[in-house]
Each structure stands twice: as C-alpha cells, then as structure tokens.
Chains A and B, each alone.
Chain A
C-alpha cells in the first residue's frame, strides 16, 4: 500500500519571527555591545561606588564605580563567543566520534559504543566543573572543560542518527565501491544526519551559555579583569538583598540568550518535523452483518478523492464505480500511484481529514452511507467491514497477547463475556488454520504468515459482510502467500462474505479472483472476468500490463513487454484518456474526450475509444 502523503505548506508562525528577531538582537548585542558600552564599562568612578539604579546608571555601579549597564552590554560578546566556541568544539568532536560508528567494523563499533555509554554515565556539568579545575581557572580552561563535557551527548545523538544511515543501501554500495572512511563520513553520513544535529547544536549553545556563566559564577571561568555575564552575576550577588538590580541584570541577559537558542531550536525542529514522514491513516474495523450470497454487499458510484498538496489539489481517484456481491472475490489491480489503495481507504472512510471524498452512491450491506452522520457511518463500517493491510507486523500491537487482541472487538461491540470471546477467538484461529494455543503468544513469536492469518482471524471474529485486503501478501514468501490466498478464497466459500483483493500482482489476482478491475491514473480502465485476463484484455494498458509479467514458460530470448513513458503527473493530468500519452494506438479523439467504461461483452467493460482486437491465437506467454 502506498502511504498517503499529504504534504502541508509550512506556515511561517509568529514563533519563527520572534525567534529570529531575538537571535538578531543577540548578534547585534555581541557586535555592538562593546562599542557602545566599552568606554563606560572600564572607566572607574570612585565617587559613585556600589550605587543602586539611577538615571545616570540604570543598573547601578560596581565596587569601582563602573557602569553596570555598560558592563552587561560589553560582556555579551565574550559570553556569547565562549558559548559558541565551546558548542562548536564539542559538536565537532562528538559528531565525528558518533558518525564514525557508521563506517567502522563491527568490533570497533562496539568499542566506540561502549566508550560513548561510559562517558554519558557522568553528568556533563560535573565533568565540566572537574575539568575546569584541572585545566586551571580561566576563560580558556572553562571553554575546553565545557567542550569536553559536551562531547558524549553529541556523540550519542549522532551515533543513533548514523545508525539509520548505516543500514541504507547507498552506504553499503559506497563501501562496496571501496571508498575511504573519511569520504564515507563526509559525503554519505554527515549530509544525511545534518538537519537534526543542527537543531540540537543550536539548543546546546543555550545550555553552554548557561553552563559557562555558571562556571564563571563559581569563579572557575572568566577571571578578572576580564568579565562575562556569569562573573557580573557573581559580583552582584554579594549585595542582592540591598540592591537586586545589579545581580538580576546579568542574570536576565543569560536567561534571554538561553531562551533565544531554545526557541530557535524549537522552531527548527518544528520545521523538520513538518517535512517528516507523512501521516498514514490506519484504523481497524471490526464488523458484523451477514449478507446472503448474491446480495449486493458494496455499491459505490463515481468515487472521487481530492487531496491538497503544497503544489495544488490533486485528484488521485477519479470517478471509480464498484459493485461487489456476497460471496464474490474481486481483484483491484494497478501499479503504485494508480489510486487503488486510496479507493479502498475511501470505501472504509479511513482517509485523512484533509481529503475530500465525493461519491454519488455509497451503499454497504444495504445501508446508504452518504446520508449518514459521521458517527453513524463509523458505527456501520465498524460492524460491516474488515480491512487487512500489507504489513501484519505493524497492524498488531506487539505488547498484547494474540488472544487479547482478537477478543477486544467482540467484547467491546457485543458485550461478550471473556469465556465466550475466547471460545470465538479459538474458532476464528481454527478457521485460518492456526492452533488455538497461539492465543497465548505475543505477535513477535509468530512468523509473518502467521501474523497475517491472525489479522484475518481478527477480521473474521465479527463476521463482516466485506473484507478489503490491501496487498495482504506482498510482504510474504510465495509459499506462504499461496496459503493466505487459499484461505481468503476458502472463507468466501463457506460464508457469503465479499472480498475486495487489492494487489499489484496480476498473476496472483488471476489465480484468486473471479473478476478484475484494472486501474490506471485514478480510473478503472478495464473490468473483466479473470479467465479472460490472460488472453482477452482489450485496453492497451491492461494488455501491456499482462504481457509485462514474466512467466515461468517465458521465452528468454524475447524481451518482456514494457510500457514506455511514466504515469501522468497527478497535478497535470492529460486531457482526454489518461493513458493516451503512452498509448501506441492513440488517435485524434483520445486526446480530447475521456472514454468511459462501456460494456463490450457481458461482464467485460473497457474505457477505451478503440479497444484492441482479440489476439488471433488466444495464448500469451
């Protein structure tokens, strides 16, 4: 199944502007502060020693009569410079240490990991204080102490991030190319982990500023006659009860700067998160309702889905109509992006909120969903439809036993007792050819095929009228796949449940379903009985798709059939027939008028102005 991607344009929030303005003010302060306050900051005035705030000295004066406002302004440059330098040093060393874990051998990686763990065990600030003493009190000592203390944090973060890159195929390919380790780090690891590192470095700068001020405050950092905010705070503290302003002013400066960095980090992180993995709608629908064989289970007409994207609204599903009868198994095939999964999600009302769904008719087990309120619709869907997804691993809760997950739905919807529910769950497991003893196991103890069968059993628990299986076997091995498809076709034989089987695998659908709908660019282009699929497709795309499937008996000296070109850009769908730009048989009309599904033979409908003739010898390979 394709993840439903809904990129949203990142709005420039007021927060962004505030953070940027604060950063600009800090930079301005660092550049201009010493120029503005420089002279006044160093001019002693013995007539105005230890004064409180006044018009001439808004923050008061110190023990030599120097103006504290000027000193706070002047101290900005040194405070910020030291914080930047310490952050930069620890970030560089830490990131290199962490990132190198992605490119060294297994043993070296374990050792490095252990080293990073060991270093992380010591609180950073404590290490900084200790090292500042070792390196000797002073700005340089404090700077290096803080830089070293910050390394483990960066190393751990970049180790975690680099582990993600280490598993990618491009890094493996680069190693097979024999690239040297420094090139691997520089070109393949660092650029791909830079974003989160950048924002954590920003936040770390704030922390470093506070820590450095702390060291200076303790007398371990900047030494007189030089001064930074921490030291000013220290000097002001002696008389904080008499005159609070001289101590508060540098404290507020530290707070403001630290806040700026934190805020900036938040804004950056928000920006990254917005561009992160797209949301994926997923809800499980337990169900009830028993149709009689031959009754109409699902009828949907003229289904259209619109999704907003940053570049405009796209329509990935355009006018799809679909009818399923009880006991019927229908295949919906198409390539990625053809809209088959979105069609399924629209039927189950599982599309994200931004999506706009329109349809003329939407009836499930006789009830008209278009006239229902959202709440009624959800309830009806929950009791009439079950959905099985591609990845059974993520559809089961790993921390709950299979039995709990199977019985949850019936107990909630039917108020069944624990014993009844367990009995039903055992029955459901037996129907999918699993031993009831599995009720006590947890998902991780099962194989992929077993998990998918548990998912099917969970769908069966409430006897749905319709099962939608979206690529249920794509993640499974062929022999297991065979068992799942046998199971699905068995279910529908002993109860009149209808199955909508969505897949990109034509051969699989051909072996399982009675009817097939072929989708292309959001529309159904051909609908036919499966026994005609191999030999009697009439739409050029469907024919090409069938012929591009390699068979065991394929002539290995003949190239496989391919479809030239690529599917249309959803933002600019072509006029007329959606397949027209790639079609070898197109004529004038195809580019102007959109063909609709028209019946050629009973049960065989094609959306094409010029359907292909039937092949002379009815055989394909």
Chain B
C-alpha cells in the first residue's frame, strides 16, 4: 500500500531573472511503513519539494496523491485536510519552536489542532509525546531558550507526531546538530518508525545519516531524481555517475580515497552549465562527454526518458559506466 505518491511534480519560484524551476518533474512513491531517504546537495530542490507537498509552496504541475486520493493545494482548508495525515519537521532547531511558548503549550496546540481534548487527556498526551521522543516529561514547562539544540529538535518531532500523522517528513533535521546528538536523534527516528509503523520521508545532504535510517534512497540533482533504489543496492552498486560522485565525497572513518573516475570535472561550471535537452550532470560527469567525447547522446537526449526501465531508475544513458548507450525500448521522441 502506498501512502504518498508524487507524480511528475514541478515547482517554480520567482527568481531575479524570471521563474526558476526548483523541482522538475519529480515522481516518488512512499509506501506505507517505510522510510524513504532523499539526498541531494543544496539547491537540488529537496526543500522546495517538501514545501510543495505540505502546501507551503504552489505546485505548477503534477499530482500529489495520498492513498490514491488527490491532496495538495495551499488554502488553509486544504492544508488542514493534509495536516491530519502529513507532518513536517524542519531543519533549524533555533527557529523550530515559538520562543514565547513553553514545550507544553507547543505540544498542546498541536494535539488540539484537530481534536478536542479535555485537560487531563491533554496532560497525558504531552507526557506520552515527550516520552516517545526520549525527553524527560519535566521539560514540559520550559521555554525553547532553555533547551539544547537536540532537545528542541525532539520537541519539534513530538509536535509533528502530536496529530498522529501517517507520514512524517524530516527535512534536514540533523544538519544543525552535533554528531553525538545527531546519533541520538537518528536512533529516535528509527525507533519511532518501528514503534508507530510510520512512513517517513527523510531528507538530508549527509549521505551516511540518510542511508542509516532509510529503506529506500532517492538521489536528487538539479531538480530531478537521478537514481532511486533500496539502500543496500544503492550503496553496493550505484548506477548514476552523480551518485558515485556523492558517495566518493563522503568522508569516512578510516580515511578513504576517492576511486578514480568519481571526481566531477570542475565545479566552477556547475551553476552556469546551460540546461540543454540532455543530461544536467553531463558537464561535470566523470563518465560523460567531458571524458568520452563520443558520448554526444548525453547532451542531446534527456536521460529521464526510459529511466523507469533501467536499474535503480537511473536517469543516465550509461548507468554503472556501461559502454553502450542504454537504448529505451520505446525509442526516441
């Protein structure tokens, strides 16, 4: 069963030089009870996608289906409908909580957003929520300024869980935390997923952290998903050169040196590379036309076509460094 299904989502923003397409035709499925990880670097469109899903940013194309039914829209009413099922935890522990509201009031507000609760049930609910995210119930009377970053992020998770959602979206929730605190938040997320059978969309740029909590990982690059596969398969046999570049750049304990052919050509051109009909990574691709001039297909044909038939749905004409272009069965155009 699928909880959330995104098909062909496009999100545009107004930029200084006209509209910018932040998310370009993204399709993604989050089956019930699984954690899907979404990795990508800054500017890849991860956060725009999240904001579009929960109705904080307008969607310019595509459909958002919750259990097969159309969801989305950014009116208050549509958001209320969606809010019962989908909740988000954002990145910044400093602004995650209203500085003027105690933990208790924050959680009560969320718990009573959709249900009327009497005083006793409310108190019980707050205590249970704090327990769920591994916080001492005595913290309920505190203001956010008297909590540590990790504690604030846990309160934010508790707030999201307060409405009893089916899907939790975690948008870079550990990026601003220390490693030992990140570890405990990651453990909490994993525990919650198991205890509550939640579906989780876990977004981040830290590949090891995302892989640690996710069953399936999707890799996003310049507004598109270039590869998605079960975590083990993705780590064992990455298909897209960009995924391999990302994996190679992960600093490791003990130190690893990047395998040859995984260093992108030059970052200077990354933001200025024109968006031609072909692959967006082609200008930087260690396996692309920069190293193999005969691979003109990379700049001419959109690798998104036929991606569904390739291993890991890789949006690449030469997945896993194959020599022959991967001809889609239905041909061109």
Contacts and interface: CB of A to CB of B under 8 A. Distances in A.
Interface of A: 105-106, 167-170, 172-181, 187-188, 191-192, 335-336, 434-435, 447-450, 477-483, 485, 504-508, 510-512, 530-531, 533-535, 544-546, 548-554, 556, 559-563, 566, 620
Contacts of A168: 92, 95
Interface string B40-60: 011000000001001110100
Residue among A336, A560, A620 having the largest count of chain B Cβ atoms under 10 Å:
A560
Contact of B208 (A172, A178, A544, A552): A552
Contact of B270 (A178, A447, A507, A553): A447
Contacts of B205: 477-478
Contacts of A167: 95
B323 interface: no
Contacts of A191: 98, 100-101
B154 to A, nearest CB: 13
A448 B267 CA distance: 11
Given A170-B98, A478-B41, A510-B253, A177 B212 contact: no
B255 A510 contact: yes
A113 B74 CA distance: 20
A105 B74 CA distance: 8
Contact of A336 (B58, B178, B213): B178
B183 A562 contact: yes
Contact of A187 (B101, B183, B249): B101
26 contacts: A170-B98, A172-B51, A173-B88, A175-B79, A178-B84, A187-B98, A187-B101, A191-B98, A191-B100, A335-B180, A449-B267, A478-B207, A482-B248, A504-B178, A505-B251, A508-B251, A510-B254, A531-B254, A534-B254, A548-B182, A549-B208, A552-B207, A554-B211, A556-B190, A559-B190, A560-B187
Contacts of A553: 235
B256 A511 contact: yes
B288 interface: no
B107 to A, nearest CB: 11
B186 A178 contact: no
Contact of B246 (A170, A176, A479, A620): A479
B212 A556 contact: yes
Contact of A479 (B41, B180, B208, B231): B41
B interface residue count range (under 10 / 10 to 19 / 20 to 34 / 35 or more): 35 or more
Interface stretch (B23-31, B122-130, B155-163, B314-322): B155-163
A530 B251 CA distance: 13
Nearest to B99: A192
B95 A170 contact: yes
Contacts of B83: 176-178
B330 interface: no
B253 A533 contact: yes
Contacts of A544: 180
A435 B267 CA distance: 12
B199 interface: no
Contact of A178 (B114, B159, B248): B114
Residue among B88, B191, B207 having the largest count of chain A Cβ atoms under 10 Å:
B88
Contacts of B74: 105
B5 interface: no
A549 B79 contact: no
Residue among A168, A176, A450 having the largest count of chain B Cβ atoms under 10 Å:
A176
A341 B76 CA distance: 45
List 10 A-B pairs, minimum CB-CB distance, nearest first.
A178-B80, A169-B90, A548-B183, A477-B41, A178-B83, A168-B95, A335-B178, A560-B183, A191-B100, A511-B255
Nearest to B178: A335
Interface string B100-138: 110000000110011000000000000000000000000
B235 A552 contact: yes
B271 interface: yes
Contacts of A620: 253
Contact of B95 (A169, A179, A534): A169
A168 B54 CA distance: 16
B264 interface: yes
A477 B179 contact: no
Contacts of A508: 251
B34 interface: no
B148 to A, nearest CB: 6
B52 to A, nearest CB: 12
B95 A507 contact: no
B79 A187 contact: no
A479 B76 contact: no
Contact of B212 (A477, A478, A554, A561): A554
A559 B190 CA distance: 8
Contact of B252 (A169, A504, A551, A556): A551
A576 to B, nearest CB: 21
Contacts of A106: 58
B250 to A, nearest CB: 6
Given A449-B267, A552-B252, A563 B114 contact: no
A533 B251 CA distance: 14
Nearest to B253: A534
Contacts of A562: 180, 183-184, 187
Residue among A106, A169, A172, A511 having the largest count of chain B Cβ atoms under 10 Å:
A169
A142 to B, nearest CB: 37
Nearest to B211: A552
B244 to A, nearest CB: 11
Contact of A563 (B84, B180, B209, B253): B180
B100 A192 contact: yes
B109 A478 contact: no
Given A545-B179, A556-B211, 11 more contacts: A169-B91, A170-B95, A172-B90, A177-B109, A178-B82, A192-B98, A478-B207, A482-B251, A548-B180, A554-B208, A562-B184
Residue among A173, A450, A505 having the largest count of chain B Cβ atoms under 10 Å:
A173
Contacts of B160: 173
B228 interface: no
A562 B248 CA distance: 26
Contacts of B113: 177-179
Contacts of B184: 560, 562
Contacts of A535: 254
B42 A479 contact: no
B191 to A, nearest CB: 8
A176 B179 contact: no
Contact of A172 (B41, B56, B206, B250): B56
B87 interface: yes
B84 to A, nearest CB: 8
Contacts of A481: 249, 251
A563 B179 CA distance: 10
B249 A479 contact: yes
Nearest to B256: A511
Interface in B206-249: 206-209, 211-213, 231, 235, 245-249
A533 B100 CA distance: 43
A546 B180 contact: no
